[in-house]
Amino acid sequence: MADRKPFLLRIDRDVFDALQRWADDDLRSLNGQIEYLLRKALKEAKRIGEDQERGRPRRGRSQDSS
């Protein structure tokens, strides 16, 4: 399983409510929805590779290297 790092996110109430409704519609937790959207945005911006989706480390790199 991928290493998870908890952190506090301060967010506008309207954005929070919209994300919660979207997560409910997609049958995801709010946390899962936020992570899904962040991964999608990172992929589209070419900031994360296909092999890094769903917490998979890149080949040839250890999980400890950041």
Domain ranges of the chain: 13-47
pLDDT digits over 33-62, tens only? Answer: 999 999 999 999 999 987 665 655 545 544
pTM (predicted TM-score): 0.70
pLDDT band at 63 (very low <50, low <70, confident <90, very high): very low
Token pair recorded at residue 38: 């962040």
Predicted confidence at residue 13, as pLDDT, reads 98
Nearest CA among 26, 46, 45 for reference residue 36: 26
Contact by Cβ (8 Å): 63, 56: no
> What is the average per-residue pLDDT within 3-10?
93
pLDDT digits over 9-34, tens only? Answer: 999 999 999 999 999 999 999 999 99
